[in-house]
Amino acid sequence: MHTVLLVVADHGAQRVGALAERIGTDPSTVSRQTAELVRRGLLRRRPDPEDGRACRVEVTPAGQDVVAATLRRRRERLARAVDDWDDDDLGAFVALLARFTDGLERARGEAPAPHPRTPAHPPSRTDQETA
């Protein structure tokens, strides 16, 4: 369910069908997960401005809090996972991970997203500590 919440937070309000397509899963599964997130107050339904018969889901303030906490926990876990890696290892990992995600996006028929840092300039330990 967190995937649904994180994707809506990242890509904005959208119809459940579009959300299922973006995630790459069955619309009925996303519909059930979305209904549960709405019930828990993490998502809300709004009329689709392009089609009044349809609705879009968007993240609520409570949902934003869950997203922020989830992302913080993930960053902390990743930082612990590579804590003993040197800068060369981190640089190689960042370059290969960027190449891998570009390949995934191409495989899904999407243009690769621009990278905030080029692989030649991986984040330094100082950058990681202040992030």
Contact (Cβ atoms closer than 8 angstroms) between residue 32 and residue 76: no
- In order along its 131 residues, the chain shows pLDDT tens digits of 789 999 999 999 999 999 999 998 999 999 999 999 999 999 999 999 888 888 999 999 999 999 999 999 999 999 999 999 999 999 999 999 999 999 988 887 777 767 655 444 445 555 545 44
pTM attached to this predicted model: 0.72
Architecture of domain 2-61 in this structure: Orthogonal Bundle (1.10)
Across-strand partners of 10? none
Q: Is the dihedral of CA 11, 35, 28, 63 positive or negative?
A: positive
Q: Where in the chain is the domain with CATH 1.10.10.10?
A: 2-61
